[in-house]
């Protein structure tokens, strides 16, 4: 990561955490203000909504700027490719030199979009330039564009710690085997699926290993690794869950079972076992390592597994199964909540059902959460004499609190 971000992010993190401490009632507003003053960041940040607006209008402006000479000079494919090749480094230079290093912008929308556009323009230039050289060349051209997109997203994630770029890199990586099969006309979609599974598995394990030393990682890398791990786990889950799998491959992508070479009973059994094992393993790892991302994955994937149980085990009819699943999940959640509350200091071991700090999602601040508040639980009311573990009340449901 660039030195500006790796050194400046620490101060940004402390300032952002101070807001959470204040909202959770752990520190007084005066203390929080003192923290913010002491750790005043050198990097320039903007509010999330202004960041979104800057990203949208920068995209509109830059695309119009590229389109204008192309229309005025009536460029054909080759001319447009040259134009894109000129604008790609220009966008990267403006973002990196002028905005990030010159004006010290940190996740302000404009510079992020310019860097993403630079990668997109480069890939597009390579992809469209092969259009006039025949069908085979065009296929290879788009394959090269795919490779450029993958490499570019990886560079952005590594250099600037952009989680969105990391997500793009995982998506490009997941699509690569299929693009290769299509471009090289192998007609072996089954092998592409195996490659996808292996790639996602490797990426997921690599990211998980990287997160073991999370304390030493810059915040941007932490988000990137979390994104890679969750995206890989989600991809693997969607591939092994038979319901999602058939919906994706048969109904959406239109692949017939004959095209997918594995239709043996053991294949379904493997999928069933993995559909149960993935959330269960994530839950176990999440609890042992107290890893929030894994716990969220376990809750969402576990719920999806229970809901799609019918595709593996024919226990009864859909209505009964869904009702039983709902009862089981609700009962489980209530049971755990009660169990945690009845422990000493309202906790069991390290775990508590009370809220300690507000959730910290990527780039979201309290106001962003307020915008989606109907689903957001009530925050803790700040205690007059600071936070005391075990003394909080439950919010729940998002119904009655405010940010």
Partner 1 sequence: MQDALNDLEGSGILSREQAALLRRIYGRELFSVHWELRLLLYAGILILTTGLGLLVAKHFASIGHLALLAAIALGCAGCFAYCLRRGGGFSPQRSPTADAGYDYALLLGCLLFGTLQGYLEFRYQLLAQHWNWWLLGSGLLYLLCAHYFDNRLVLSLALSTLGAWLGVKTSLLTAGGWDAALRGNAIFFGATVVAAGAAQVRLGWKRHFLPVHLHLGINILLAALVAGIDSDTGLRYLPALVLVCAGSAFYAQQSRRFAFLLYALLFGYLGVTIFVFEHVRWDTEGYILYFLITAAALVSALVAFHRRFRSAE
Site residues for partner 1, 107-166, by CB under 8 A, read 110
Q: Which stretch binds partner 1 (CB under 8 A): 129-137, 171-179, 258-266, 337-345?
A: 337-345
31 lies in the site for partner 1, by CB under 8 A: yes
Nearest distance, CB of residue 232 and partner 1, angstroms:
21
| CB of 210 vs partner 1, minimal distance in Å | 18
Would you tell me how many other CB atoms lie within 10 Å of the CB of residue 278?
Answer: 21
In the complex, least distance from residue 81 CB atom to partner 1, rounded to whole angstroms? 19
Give φ, ψ of 70 to 5 degrees. Answer: -65, -40
Our CB check for partner 1 shows the closer of 199 and 322 to be 322
Q: Which is nearer to partner 1, 65 or 253 (CB)?
A: 65
CA distances for 161 relative to 1, 5, 9, 314, 388, angstroms: 7, 9, 10, 46, 36
Report the chain's terminal Cα–Cα distance, integer Å.
33
By C-alpha distance, which of 242, 167, 240, 170 is closest to 199?
A: 170
Of positions 89, 316, 389, 391, contacts partner 1 by CB under 8 A: 389
What is the C-alpha to C-alpha distance for residues 162 and 190, in angstroms, rounded to an integer?
Answer: 33
Stretch that binds partner 1, among 89-97, 160-168, 273-281, 353-361 (CB under 8 A): 353-361
Binding mask 212-231 for partner 1 (x = CB under 8 A): ---x----------------
Q: Enumerate the β-bridge partners of residue 347.
A: 352
Taking the C-alpha atoms of 187, 193, 196 and 202 in order, what is their torsion angle to the nearest 10 degrees? -130
Continuous H helices in 188-218: 189-211
Report d(CA 365, CA 23) in Å as an integer. 11
Among 336, 362, 383, 391, binds partner 1 (CB under 8 A): 336
Helices (H), 212-264: 219-240, 242-246
Would you say 43 and 4 are in contact if contact means Cβ atoms under 8 Å apart? yes
Window 313 to 332, contacts with partner 1 (CB under 8 A): 317-332
Q: How far is the CB of 71 from partner 1 (least distance, A)?
A: 5
Write out the two tokens for 228. 């890679």
- Distance CA(101)–CA(87), nearest Å, equals 20
Judged by CB under 8 A, the chain residues 45 through 84 that form the site for partner 1 are: 45-50, 52-54, 56-58, 60-61, 63-65, 67-68, 71-72
Please give the structure tokens belonging to residue 32: 């929080």
State in angstroms the smallest separation of the CB of 176 from partner 1.
Answer: 33
**Footprint (CB under 8 A) of partner 1, residues 264-303:** 290, 292, 295-296, 299-300, 303
Our CB check for partner 1 shows the closer of 273 and 372 to be 372
Q: Which is nearer to partner 1, 10 or 132 (CB)?
A: 10
CA angle 203, 204, 209 (to 5 degrees): 100
**Would you say 34 or 137 has its CB closer to partner 1?**
34
The widest CA-to-CA distance across the chain, in whole angstroms, is: 76
Q: Which is nearer to partner 1, 187 or 290 (CB)?
A: 290
Residues 6+ away with beta carbon under 8 Å from 83: 66, 69, 70, 75
48 or 140: CB nearest partner 1: 48
Among 164, 248, 373, 382, binds partner 1 (CB under 8 A): 373
29 makes contact with partner 1 (CB under 8 A): no
Q: Nearer Cβ to partner 1, position 113 or 271?
A: 113
The correct pick among 6, 13, 261, 281 for binding partner 1 (CB under 8 A) is 13
Backbone angles phi, psi at 281, to 5 degrees: -65, -45
**Cβ proximity of 398 and 374 under 8 Å:** yes
CB of 112 to partner 1, least distance (A): 14
Query: Binding-site residue total for partner 1 (CB under 8 A)?
Result: 101
90 forms part of the interface with partner 1 (CB under 8 A): no
Q: Would you say 7 or 136 has its CB closer to partner 1?
A: 7
Residue 45: CB atoms within 10 Å: 19
Among 78, 133, 262, 351, binds partner 1 (CB under 8 A): 351
């Amino acid at each position: 990561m660039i030195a500006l971000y790796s050194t400046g992010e620490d101060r940004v993190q402390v300032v952002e955490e101070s807001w959470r401490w204040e909202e959770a009632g752990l520190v007084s507003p005066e203390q929080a203000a003192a923290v913010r003053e002491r750790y005043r960041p050198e990097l320039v940040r903007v509010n999330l909504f202004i960041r979104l607006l800057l990203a949208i209008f920068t995209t509109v402006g830059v695309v119009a700027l590229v389109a204008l000479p192309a229309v005025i000079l009536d460029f054909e494919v080759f001319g447009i490719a040259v134009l894109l090749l000129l604008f790609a480094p220009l966008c990267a230079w403006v973002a990196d030199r002028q905005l990030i290093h010159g004006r010290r912008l940190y996740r302000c929308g404009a510079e992020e979009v310019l860097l993403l556009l630079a990668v997109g323009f480069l890939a597009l230039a390579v992809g469209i330039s092969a259009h006039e050289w025949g069908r085979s060349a065009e296929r290879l051209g788009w394959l090269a564009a795919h490779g450029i997109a993958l490499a570019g997203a990886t560079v952005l994630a590594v250099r600037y710690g952009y989680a969105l770029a990391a997500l793009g890199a995982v998506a490009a990586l997941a699509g690569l085997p299929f693009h290769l099969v299509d471009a090289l006309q192998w007609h072996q979609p089954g092998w592409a699926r195996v490659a996808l599974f292996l790639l996602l598995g490797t990426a997921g394990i690599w990211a998980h290993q990287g997160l073991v030393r999370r304390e030493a990682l810059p915040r941007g890398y932490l988000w990137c690794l979390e994104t890679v791990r969750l995206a890989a786990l989600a991809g693997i889950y969607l591939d092994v869950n038979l319901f999602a799998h058939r919906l994706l491959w048969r109904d959406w992508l239109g692949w017939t079972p004959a095209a997918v070479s594995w239709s043996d009973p053991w294949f379904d059994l493997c999928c069933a076992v993995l559909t149960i094992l993935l959330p269960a393993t994530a839950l176990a790892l999440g609890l042992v390592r107290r890893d929030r991302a894994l716990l969220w994955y376990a809750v969402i994937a576990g719920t999806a597994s229970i809901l799609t149980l019918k595709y593996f085990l024919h226990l009864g009819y859909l209505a009964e199964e869904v009702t039983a699943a709902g009862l089981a999940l609700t009962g489980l959640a209530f049971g755990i909540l009660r169990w945690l509350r009845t422990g000493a200091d309202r906790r069991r071991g390290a775990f508590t059902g009370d809220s300690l700090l507000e959730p910290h999602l990527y780039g979201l601040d309290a106001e962003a959460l307020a915008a989606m508040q109907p689903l957001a639980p009530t925050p803790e009311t700040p205690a007059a004499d600071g936070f005391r573990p075990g003394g909080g009340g439950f919010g729940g449901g998002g119904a009655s609190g405010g940010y």
